[in-house]
Amino acid sequence: MPRRDRELIVDVAMNGIRTKAQNPNVPETPAEIAAEAERLFAAGVTIIHAHNSDHRVAGRAAADDYLAAWGGVHTRHPEALWYPTIAGSDRPLGDLSHVAILAKEAGVRIGCVDPGPVISGLAASDGTPAGRIYANTADDIHSAFAFLADRRLGAEIGIYEPGFLRTALAYHRAGKLPQGSIINLYFCGRRGMFDSERSTLYGLPPTAASFEAYFAMLEDADLPWKTSVWGEDILDTPIAELTLQRGGHIQIGLENHAQSDTGRSNLDSFERLVRTASAQDRPIATSRVAAALLDLPG
């Protein structure tokens, strides 16, 4: 039986590559990102996932881009949990040095690892899948897990396809996952990763049958896990209710679904989730409680 927790970790993916053209509530500038983080932490959000202004840069440049927003947030909220995305474009897991810098200078305790390849992009005019292969090689995955483990940082493990989960569980069985790891089961809604009707779709759709397939794959792995949905509001799918019932955690936010049709903000979605979780007797975890649930080092 997969692990069950009572306290609910709510992870808000606040921006991603979304723009104000999709929803005016998307925070883009460092000042907007900092202000959004303040609102979310004040409301009781457990963890925030954020992108910087240019995900193509890496290393010191990426860290400085993040610090323009997050340096002050960390000063005001030293125990709050947040984590950046993967930097660079050629080998996404090839350079995680910005995570190490942000761990020292902005309190980051978690880094991202996506253990596998997937086609992402916009479909061709005839509807056939198109875009680039977002590829992380076996060597890159091994190096990324080792990098985080060596620096005593947890791993946010993105599961886009069932094969990603098989890889992550193999590392878990071998005792090679960093302490503080969590599985994030990404389901692919009708608008996909690019939140567009033209998105190339991947992985499993946000249905009860898909959830049960992943839940069965987790078996008795003693790993915290959460769910998220690209291209649809997770609260409008069966995934949220099933996750709450089975003791998992949930990621929401404008990165996953820009809410172009509703105009909802990150805070609106959080408040909606809080009401749904309350009905399932799932209190929202504080950052401190979440750090204990995840067994984050340090």
- What was the pLDDT predicted at 88? 78
Angle at 251 between CA 200 and CA 118, to 5 degrees: 30
- What was the pLDDT predicted at 89? 67
Residue 75: phi and psi, rounded to 5, are -60, -40
Residues 6+ apart with CB under 8 A from 121: 130, 131, 132, 194, 199, 200
Alpha carbon of 110 to those of 149, 153, 280: distances in Å? 10, 5, 28
Alpha carbon of 155 to those of 60, 123, 177, 224, 263: distances in Å? 20, 31, 8, 11, 32
Domains of the chain, by residue range, sit at 10-294
- What was the pLDDT predicted at 1? 86
Instruction: Quickly tell me which residue has 């949990």 as its tokens.
Output: 81
- Note down pLDDT in tens along the chain; length 298 residues: 899 999 999 999 999 999 999 999 999 999 999 999 999 999 999 999 999 988 889 999 999 999 999 999 999 999 999 999 998 766 788 899 999 999 999 999 999 999 999 999 999 999 999 998 999 999 999 999 999 999 999 999 999 999 999 999 999 999 999 999 999 999 999 999 999 999 999 999 999 999 999 999 999 999 999 999 999 999 999 999 999 999 999 999 999 999 999 999 999 999 999 999 999 999 999 999 999 999 999 8
Dist. CA 134–CA 92, nearest whole Å:
8
Q: If DSSP codes are grouped into helix, strand and coil, which group holds residue 140?
A: helix
Question: What's the whole-model pTM score?
Answer: 0.97
- What was the pLDDT predicted at 40? 98
What type of residue is 112?
C
First-to-last alpha carbon distance for the chain, in angstroms, is 29
Q: If DSSP codes are grouped into helix, strand and coil, which group holds residue 138?
A: helix
What are the b/e assignments for 203-233, b being 16+ CB within 10 Å?
Answer: bbebeeebbeebbebbeebebbbbbbbbbbb
- For the chain, what percentages of helix, strand and coil (3-state, to nearest 5) are there? 40, 15, 45
Residues 6+ apart with CB under 8 A from 119: 129, 130, 131, 132, 133, 134, 200, 202
In sign, the C-alpha dihedral spanning 291, 4, 45, 285 is negative
The whole-angstrom distance between residue 152's C-alpha and the CA centroid of its chain comes to 19
Q: What is the CATH code for 10-294? A: 3.20.20.70
In sign, the C-alpha dihedral spanning 13, 19, 25, 26 is positive
What are the b/e assignments for 97-124, b being 16+ CB within 10 Å?
Answer: bbbbbbbeebbbbbbbbbbbebbbbbbe
Dist. CA 27–CA 31, nearest whole Å:
8
Instruction: Quickly tell me which residue has 């921006």 as its tokens.
Output: 15
